[in-house]
Structure 1
Amino acid sequence: MEYNGGGPEADHLCVLVHGLWGNPSHMKSVAKALRAEHPADKLYLLVAKRNTGSFTYDGIERGGERVCLEIEEELEAIKRKGGKITKLSVVGYSLGGLVARYAVGLLGAKGVLDEVEPMNFTTFASPHLGVRSPLRGWHNHVWNVLGARTLSMSGRQLFTIDDFRGTGKPLLAILADPNSIFMSSLARFKRRTLYTNIVNDRSAVYYTTGIAKADPYTNMDRIKANYVEGYEDVILDPQNPISPRTPKMSPATFASVKESSLWYIRNAPIALFLVVFIPVGIVGFLVNSVFQNFFSSRRIKLHEKGLAGIQVENYRVPIMIKELREAVEDVYENINSSQHQEFLAPSDDDDDAELDERERRTLTLERRQSHPQWPTLALAPEQFDMIRSLDKLGWRKYPVWIHKHRHSHAAIIVRTEKPSFSEGHVVMKHWLKEEFLV
């Protein structure tokens, strides 16, 4: 990528990490925006490339180890050229945000963060709480179970059904454990910022990318958005993002309903095509998943044996401080976005009977604290723990409303240059003008 690198005078390294099925080109607009704001003699850029494509199936920790190695190699290369990096920023998009959190923990454990000043840690649409749909009972046996097994190790970790290194906890719970190297390293950054889509994110919905236990954006007709001055219609005010309102059926609204009806009539042939195409796409997705899981398992075995270019023993540090492709992606997103969120009812005694004592206490507490207008989502107990722990770090959270395109997950970072993704440039502008510390 042409935006990689920097001048010998640059003392600040910014690392960009792409997401699931991604490649370095997905981060091109982010890199371009950074370079336009900060010249090469001020900021050095590294767009991580070792996790390209299907390599993202291999698990968050292996992705984190690869990124950590890339950063170490880049720092050493810069030093050999006579440069000296004194500041470090890390930016993660989608799954890349979790990979970045893991890599940062390794950098802290290996002493790299002692040699540089951690500046900015930023995520765009990253599923910090995983991608498990907030569903209870038998619903879990549909998408939450099937989806977890279509993306190899990364899928198991994203749906929090893995047992990380025999701890009895999923990796994401360890990533958010207050006593882990990951949290202590993340806490060292001067600024932690996240941008979260409030609607139309088919890959990672608001509650997980915004680290929240409620979703006030499920019905946009009932709320009024309050924007950050100068970034209207895109960036919501994090202190007062919305105000409730009572929708009224005005003549314009009736006209809108009529137009909507005509839209459905005009698009009936497309809908008929989708009825036929989607089942075929799902079959193709599942067949591809079988092959990708197989190849991922082979890569994981090579990685664990130190035969994939990384000396694994250098990165298997103690984790607790106290102990020292487009079609496939589209099918996955369509299935994932078809799941409907459920909320904690005032009492669900029948469902709670299957839980252990800690889980019952957690859910009881969350019910009591639930906002009457925006009820608490039916998250897993460890997800509530993640929220409490991560919020203590003091994130600067910015809700983003993408209007022009229904694929807001890609639009938020302008994953490809097209007019309907233009609102992503507003996000980039806000981040660089208001949040990014140099």
Structure 2
Amino acid sequence: MEEDLALSSLLFMKICNLFGRWKRAQRRSPPKRLNRNLEQIKKNKSSLSLPPEEFWRCPNNFHWVFVPMKEQDDEEFFENTCMNVTMFNKLVSLLEPEIAESALLPEKITAEQCLVLTLEYLVKGFTFYYIKSKYKLRSYETAHDIILETCELLWKVLRETYLAEPTESTYSTIAEKFSEKWHLPCCAGAITCMKIVTRRKKNRSNYTAVLATCDHNYVFTSLCIGNKCEFENTSFGQAVINCTLPFPDTEDLTGNKPKFPYYFAGNLCMPLLKTIMRTYRRFEESDRRKIFNYRISRGYQVIDNAFGILIARMHIFQKAINTKPDDCKSIVRAAVVLHNFIMVNDENQKYCPPKFADWEDDNHSIKAGGWRYTAGKKIFSLRPAKWAVRNHKQVAVDRRDFLAAYFESKGAVEFQNEFVDSISV
């Protein structure tokens, strides 16, 4: 009897062991029927999402939030788009023909929907993954393709009007406004070089370099995007170095010969060229050079503020842009032409209200603008960069010395001596 019980126990344990091994094997390898179903699903990925013709009919954040906001809440609409409804509708009408002809966008998507997604990315700084989830898109790639293609179309439709290549008359007008507002004669604009951080890997950052100029009113007039600040190989960089820009004829400053040519106002990050007047270095300063630095800096700060306004309004630049260099180029170009479009059409000055940029008090002292407090410490993507051009010619040095002497004598303004006295104390 005892032998029968022992044999039964051993047999039961054996059966349990075999059953456990069978269950574990089932977990590792699904049944053939399930495998066939998985293969069918992989072959028909489109069955997991809506068909193309019904893709944008599915209610999402656009229908639930954006449309009511556009109709009812002007303040929130501005916070999400940096423009009013009139400007938004104008931009949609400009985009509609290009959106309809684009082969890279879904068939049923509208220009308004494309623009909303792109503004969410540029103005709010949302990621492609967040936008994909928020608007119920099929994938990260869908959000990426729609936004990048819309950025390219924005550049295409706005460039000719809002960032056209300056002509001689354009530079002449800019120089008149610079002389009137910033007391800087013969200045065809301010120029700077920036780098945009794109991706960070193992404590190393990649960046895209930007060379830009602007007018007296924080509107960009030229934009050049290069690789590692090597602008010598670009058309605009060569034009600056070789003095082939369509500047007006030289202007007579003193009433006697020689006449002084037009130039851009730059800082120490820029090279000293015949077309760029930059400040003297600190250890070279005398009273004359302090005055020159002060006068040139008043002109240069305009481009500094133009990028500051762009950073404060386009939150995409308040962090590293996690894209490829070519995609970053499209993003920067779209943001800049959007900035110009809004600045030109913003009659109520809501995008750049008074004192949002650096401003002067009654004593001509520069005060910090509101954009510095809006952006705060979040400024990460856009950083000053240095455009190093070798072989500075003596002609450029002589021109700067001549202009410094003019600022101290016939071209002096009454408040410059007070500034020199204040920093000498």
Fold match by TM threshold 0.5: no
Query: Of Structure 1 and Structure 2, which has the larger fraction of its residues in helix?
Result: 2
* TM-score normalised by structure 2 residue count: 0.26
Could you state the TM-score of these two structures normalised by the residue count of structure 1?
Answer: 0.26
Query: Greater relative contact order (Cα 8 A, min sep 6): structure 1 or 2?
Result: 1
